[in-house]
Amino acid sequence: MQNLFSPLTIKTIKLANRIVMPPLASFLLGDDGRITDTTVEHYRRRAAGGPAMVMMEACAISPEGVVSVNQAKIYEDRFIDGLAKIARAIKAEGAVPAVQIHHGGRQTSAKVIKRKPLAPSPLPCPTIRGDVEPLTIDGIQELVQKFGDAAERAFQAGYELIEIHGAHGYLINQFLSKFSNIREDRYGGDIEGRTRFAKEVVKEIRKRVDQKFPISFKISAEEYVDGGLTTKESIKILKLLVDAGIDAVQVSAGNDLTPEWICQPMFMGKACLAGSASQVKTALDIPVMAVGRINDPHIADEIIAKGQADLVCIGRGLLADPEMPKKAKEGRFDEIRTCIACNTCMQSIFKRGRIECLVNPMLGREKEMAFIPTSSPKTVMVIGGGPGGLNVAWVAAKRGHKVHVYEKRPTLGGQLLAGSVPGHKSELRSLISFQMKQAEIYGVQCHLNHEVTEDDIKAANPDVIVLATGSLPVLPPVDGIDKDIVLTYEDVLNDDRPTYQRAVVIGGGPTGLELALHLAEYGCSITVVEMLPKIGSGLEAMTKKILLQKLKEHKVQIMTETRLSAIEDDGVTVMDKDGMKLFIEAQKVIIAIGTRPDNRLYEKIKSLGYPIHQIGDCLEPRTAKVAIFESAVLGRKI
């Protein structure tokens, strides 16, 4: 780790190591952009974990530039005091406070800003759609001034580096790229013209702040769309911006049409953008930051060692475990709670208006979910060693309870073990490893190959019982369901590899689609049968996009609005929406239509008179995120 933990200086700022927390939208703010105690604590915790620099999430420089009512704002002086609280908290923990300034351009909604979005050209955002207002020359100049005003406020608030958001399909990126800029005046056309707005912004900021004050620029080096930026073209742009006054660059990727390159899901390789960063570093003589699926300190150290970048941006990794840098420096790698790239953080922002994390239920709840030692230690029996059971066990043990976990299988992990079998989900095992290590650290006693009976409960005589027995597959009531041809999703995932060549997967939800891809990657010919009009309900958007692409590449057939009628010895009979019956030949039929609670022990335990809690699927089938959150809450209450 000597490369990762070596110092670096950017102009006036001295960085203790090479780890940067990049700007990540948390939306842990008031609707009016007000900084709350929750916001401050979120950033304080990240800074306390040991990164050299922590960047405040993108702050809107103008009211029509916001992308959400919950976005941070910097377009009026009234926001300075709140932003200053974050800067002071970051600095107090030993990290350099930085801030990113931003304008959404066309990549926002008229519903949010109550007017047409601004854009360089009359081209709407390809995902949000809706009419836009092309910027006039005067309008462009007004925004240049607003970027300068925002920089002054950031400087007054105590931030020691300002980053200009020129990536991800937002306004400055829209000017830089031929994908979104078809202007024919001096702000369009060739690279010089398309870079003019960004150059003027940089120069205006440089005029407003001290000459020694560092300015960074974030760019989507590759947009992965026809007509979009490439790394070669981005290097030319960056050279112009270096001349204008930038001192560092963060090399990202993607735009509004390719969000999977902005916040890469499980399918994407680790450090998948390091190659672009390396090309930029070779071409420029300023510090370069690499970003993109850098969730492992060993990979981060390797990036620095190879000279691919000067700094590594670890964003979601610090959401999952704020103490990752500190743990890595101390060699406690097996204690790191690794980001698994499930993109729950992004999905929760869009669906719930605030950031949440599957593996770290404390995210955004740092104060309310603090660990408080118990004043009344109890003996706690946890029945079930899946993610919910393990989580409640180590949390309760950390608080001072004596905890025993009973698992009927030979290994811990529950359904996460089977869930981690598909190649793109292998990182789920890191969550199991983390929970097992926490259980070991806090003295949880685990009893494997032990299916609990009433006699076991009476013999242990616990003060509290937590039932975390999970769920069982739902089997449809159709003719032939008992035939040997039928498998459950667990049967498939717990097997080494398929020996059959043709299979039908019943159920087009997340589990069914992942199973289909898993088998197709082994060379199986797969048909997915789903009774609803659409498949993949509940999947995170970027994960779903790539999963569907891969299913198409592997020629997996998808039949929607089709119902299973009967199972034969050599396939299935299904019925389409018009009532027509079809026969699909198959060697195996895999059922993946859902689960039901495995709560067979609940009434028996309740009759014995012991205090009992149910968590996870045994209460009601739910996601791993919900199970882990429930168990974290319960572990703090016992």
Which residues are identified as catalytic?
Answer: 170
Residue ranges of E strands in 458-580: 464-467, 471-473, 486-488, 502-506, 525-529, 557-559, 562-568, 571-576
**Helical spans, DSSP H, in 422-574:** 428-441, 454-460, 489-493, 510-521, 541-553
The token pair at 279 is 């090309």
**Looking at the DSSP assignment, which residues form a beta bridge with residue 8?**
15
Nearest Cα neighbor of 439 from 483, 366, 386 is 386
474 is written with which tokens? Answer: 């739902």
Could you give the CA distance from residue 105 to residue 171 in angstroms, rounded to a whole number?
4
Q: Which helix (H) or strand (E) holds 134?
A: strand 133-134
- Burial-class residue 481 by CB neighbours within 10 Å (0-12, 13-18, 19+): middle
User: 172 near 211, Cβ under 8 Å?
Assistant: no
The total of other beta-carbon atoms located within 10 Å of residue 76's CB is 12
Cβ 280 vs Cβ 240: under 8 Å? no
Question: b or e along 349-359 (b: 16 or more beta carbons within 10 Å of the residue's beta carbon)?
Answer: beeeebbbbbb
Calculate ∠ Cα 369-631-513, nearest 5°.
120
Is 266 in contact with 225 (CB distance < 8 Å)?
no
Strands 118-119 and 133-134: parallel
How far is residue 638's CA from residue 634's CA, in Å, rounded to a whole number?
Answer: 6
- CA pair distance 593, 637, nearest whole angstrom: 34
d(CA 570, CA 565): 14
Q: Both ends of the chain: CA-CA distance in Å?
A: 39
Q: How far is CA 411 from CA 309, 408, 446, 475, in A?
A: 40, 8, 10, 25
Asked if residue 355 lies in contact with residue 25, where contact means CB atoms within 8 angstroms, the answer is yes
Task: Please report where in the chains the tokens 């990549």 appear, as a residue.
Answer: 107
- Length of the chain counted residue by residue: 638
DSSP structural state of residue 495: S
209: burial class by Cβ within 10 Å (0-12, 13-18, 19+)?
middle
Residue 137: CB partners within 8 Å, gap ≥ 6? 185, 187
**What's the token pair of residue 174?**
């829209």
Helices (H) and strands (E) in the chain, counts: 21, 28
Closest CA to 269 of 306, 294, 252: 294
| Radius of gyration of the chain, Cα coordinates, nearest whole angstrom | 27
Residue whose tokens read 């704002």: 73
Q: Is 96 in contact with 13 (CB distance < 8 Å)?
A: yes
Contact indicator for 550, 517 with CB cutoff of 8 Å: yes
| Contact (Cβ atoms closer than 8 angstroms) between residue 123 and residue 177 | no
